Amino acid sequence: MLDYANDNILLNRRFQMKRKSILWLATSIIMILAITLVSACTPKPTPTVSSTIPANLATGVAINSTVTATFSEAMGSLTVTTATFTLKQGTTPVLGAVTYAGVTATFTPSSNLAASTVYTATITTGAKDLAGNALASNKVWSFTTGTPTARAPVDLGSAGNFVILAKSGISTTGTTSIVGDIGMSPIAATAITGFGLIMDSSNQFSTSDPSSLVTGKVYAADYAVPTPAKMTAAVSDMETAYTDAAGRTLPDFTELYSGNLGGQTLAPGLYKWSSVVTIPTDVTLSGGANDVWIFQIAGNLGISSATKVVLSGGAQAKNIFWQVAGQTTLGTTSEFKGNILCQTAIVLNTGATLNGRALAQTAVTLDASAVTKPIS
């Protein structure tokens, strides 16, 4: 006998199970659609610039500063470039490079900023986060640079008593004219050539023949007492002055003009380069009578032929210090100003003139050159 009652119960259970499955599936689909719809309708958070250095309206900003912006979230690095992160002085763009790391973008100017000048930084809406969301609006802020720190002159000590001082030789050819004393140590007077030296009766110094070659006295380590001690002290002071100049910190200008100073006007301050410095055309040092320029040069220094270092505004050669780790070369008929503190050789080519001092830790070579000690 068939059990229709049980069959009906089983069919009913199966129906209920299918009904629940369909309801669960429909509910799930509705929930997914609802979540998707809510997500689509919810405004996406836009990235912002949460902080900047320098801050907006900051003053006294160092002229060798970089400009940084920190975002509220990670950004697409390909969207943070010099096209979207700019720095301007008025309407003039500042050349530089942009880097991005973490959540921070950095604009590094190609050279130091001008002193006492307003700059405006901008990050445009072209900057986007990793999801492609752009800034809601351009981020714009401004700041003002400060003035360079007044620098104390380099103390030359007793080396300042000499217009030319060297350790391994001083030589000249042609009709050279030197106004001031010259000296050398530890090498003997035989390394001073081309001056026709005439020993004084005291044996403590000599003069030149003709006398127009050196309007002053010539000293060497092998002359009579007290000259040896005098020359040892002078050379020691020269080395100390070199170390002082090289050791000055917090430069006002770093890698300025990539070391090519031709055609530029330089304000007083401390300048630093990690390689060579060239002066292919006239350069002007503009400042007052008490202003100081210190140039730290890790490579060679060269001024081209018929080129001048021009002083303006009352600037004085005695307050200019060129600290050179490599060789210094003054081109034919060039006109140079300042105290050269050179770790190697100083070469003055034909007709070159120097209003200053040539203080070399190796040799000084002249060729119909003129060297005049600056007025103290």
* Rounded-to-5 percentages of helix, strand, coil across the chain: 20, 40, 40
* Residue-range domain boundaries for the chain: 49-145, 157-372
Structure tokens at 357: 């001092």
Longest Cα–Cα distance of the chain, Å, equals 155
Q: Which CATH class is domain 49-145?
A: mainly beta
pLDDT at 24: 67
Beta bridge partners of 122: 86, 140
Helix (H) / strand (E) containing 215: strand 214-215
What long-range pairs does 91-94 form, CB within 8 A, spacing at least 24? 94/119
Q: Is the pTM of this model over 0.75?
A: no
Point out the least confidently predicted range of 94-98, 103-107, 146-150, 249-253: 146-150
Burial class (CB in 10 A: 0-12, 13-18, 19+), 328: buried
Residue 232 in tokens = 């040892």
Average pLDDT rounded to a whole number, residues 199-209 = 97
Q: What is the pLDDT of residues 67-97, one digit of tens each?
A: 999 999 999 999 999 999 999 999 999 999 9
Q: Could you tell me which residues are beta bridge partners of residue 120?
A: 88, 142
Burial of 205 (0-12, 13-18, 19+ CB in 10 A): buried
Q: How far is CA 320 from CA 28, 245, 304, 311, 327, in A?
A: 82, 11, 19, 10, 18
**pLDDT, tens digit, for every residue of 252-300?**
888 988 999 999 989 899 999 999 999 999 999 999 999 999 999 999 9
- What pLDDT shows up at residue 147? 82
Contact residues for 92 (Cβ-Cβ < 8 A; gap 6+): none
